Amino acid sequence: MSNELHGQKVAFLVASGVEQVELTGAWDAVENAGGTPVLVSPEKDSVQAFNHDVEQADTFPVDARLGDARPEDYDGLVLPGGTTNPDKLRTIGDAVAFAGAFRRAGKPVAAICHGPWSLVEADVVRGKQLTSWPSLQTDIRNAGGEWQDSEVVVCDRDGWTLVTSRNPDDLPAFTRELIAAFAAA
């Protein structure tokens, strides 16, 4: 299969409040493609996932503390959404720097729903085409990005691939394109 990840390590940057299906859908896709997903978080032991930002779902163990994680140790980055998770991350300097480091290194990033908030905060969406949950479109445009209302947007410019989607309904297209982008990296 041409989209095999062959053991690539993929960081999933999350905080409590992550939308469970956006985390697990992408996580499973990376594992099924032969990659190694790693949950990176500013939280110490585990993160609390939610369903639709209102109903507590499962907790997930933290594999690497954000302060100890090094972007150079990973082949790509996934930024799942939910509202609370990315809102927390964009206020944590180390999380913003971690996300921005993937852009500077030319490593692929995939973000869904509110996930692009960290990229907006890292000032790496200027001149890039992307999508998100609709309420982020003004933030993205104000940061110089070109927002589109599409199931999935793959932007491959300036030696960097960014894959974005709007919401959990887009997960099949999102996971297909993130695996293709990570495999090509």
Half-sphere exposure of 110 (CA within 13 A, CB side): 31
SS3 74: coil
Q: Which pLDDT score is estimated for 1?
A: 41
Residue 155 bears catalytic tag: no
Distances (CA, A) of 68 to 22, 102, 106: 24, 16, 21
Tens-digit pLDDT profile for residues 98-156: 999 999 999 999 999 999 999 999 999 999 999 999 999 999 999 999 999 999 999 99
Question: How is residue 132 written in tokens?
Answer: 């998100």
Question: How is residue 93 written in tokens?
Answer: 């300097």
* Domains of the chain and any CATH numbers: 9-184 (3.40.50.880)
Contacts of 28 (CB under 8 A, 6+ apart): none
Which of 125, 135, 124 is CA-nearest to residue 166? 135
Among candidate residues 113, 143, 152, 171, the one labeled active-site is: 113
Answer whether 0.85 is exceeded by the pTM. yes
In residues, how long is the chain?
A: 185
DSSP sequence for 121-178: HTT--TT-EE---GGGHHHHHHTT-EE---SEEEEEETTEEEEEESSGGGHHHHHHHH
Q: Are 53 and 22 in contact (CB under 8 A)?
A: no
Tens-digit pLDDT profile for residues 48-87: 999 998 899 999 999 999 999 999 999 999 999 999 999 9
Section 157-177 average pLDDT: 97
For the chain, how many helices (H) and strands (E)?
6, 12
For residue 89, the 8-state DSSP code is H
